Chains A and B, each alone.
Chain A
Amino acid sequence: AQSVTQLGSHVSVSEGALVLLRCNYSSSVPPYLFWYVQYPNQGLQLLLKYTSAATLVKGINGFEAEFKKSETSFHLTKPSAHMSDAAEYFCAVSDLRTGGFKTIFGAGTRLFVKA
């Protein structure tokens, strides 16, 4: 069975500071990994995804994540936080099942950005 653990339900950073949101996964097969962002009362927007190509994945809005198999991690980073980055972030892992695929979401991390 697959699972995702996001360390820290809340993360607070100052504007301009490094953003680091942690995600660890477990999977019995090579995983597909995703980071999504959700703004209040909206759906999810894909930030980036890992699908077994390059281990360092660059996404939108300056975010990137590195797949580390030895650590079973897929942490999300951004060098310099903006106020507009304040949102809920979800890490997700996907496997391939007969007839489709199932995505498991982490509990989410709310990012606060202080001026």
Chain B
Amino acid sequence: GAVVSQHPSWVICKSGTSVKIECRSLDFQATTMFWYRQFPKQSLMLMATSNEGSKATYEQGVEKDKFLINHASLTLSTLTVTSAHPEDSSFYICSASGPGTYNEQFFGPGTRLTVL
């Protein structure tokens, strides 16, 4: 199956700093990438959908200026958490789909963000 990687796998930062998380499709062209947030023992909440070369579409209640998403190439999308605060601490998961994936998303391993 297709492989999606995320980097870093975990990050600890101070309140007020910005953190960038990378999501890469390693062996297929990801025309669409999704960013999810998962709180402990809860389900995945879709934050935004990004199509390569265009602006991301954010879900209701997600601050686009807080969570900057860039999908500049067919293999890379980035999520930047700007001016992070402790309430932004969470598990962030990306997924990707592309031509021929037939509505299937391939998930990255996730990034654990802890804001002190």
Question: Taking beta carbons and an 8 Å cutoff, which residues of A are in contact with B?
Answer: 32, 34, 36, 41-46, 49, 51, 90, 94, 96, 99-108, 110
Contact = CB atoms under 8 A, between A and B. Distances in A.
A107 B51 contact: no
Contacts of B41: 110
Contact of A102 (B46, B91, B106): B46
A105 B43 contact: yes
Chain B contact-residue range equals: 20 to 34
Given A43-B109, A44-B107, A51-B102, A100 B32 contact: yes
**Chain A interface, DSSP helix/strand/loop, else mixed:** strand
Interface string B8-34: 000000000000000000000000101
Interface in B12-70: 32, 34, 41-44, 46, 49, 51, 57
A100 B95 CA distance: 13
A49 B34 CA distance: 19
A43 B110 contact: yes
A110 B46 CA distance: 20
**Chain B interface, DSSP helix/strand/loop, else mixed:** strand
Given A100-B49, A102-B49, A32 B103 contact: yes
Identify the interface centre among A43, A94, A96: most chain B CB within 10 Å of its CB. Answer: A43
A43 B102 contact: no
Contacts of A51: 102-103
Contacts of A102: 46, 49
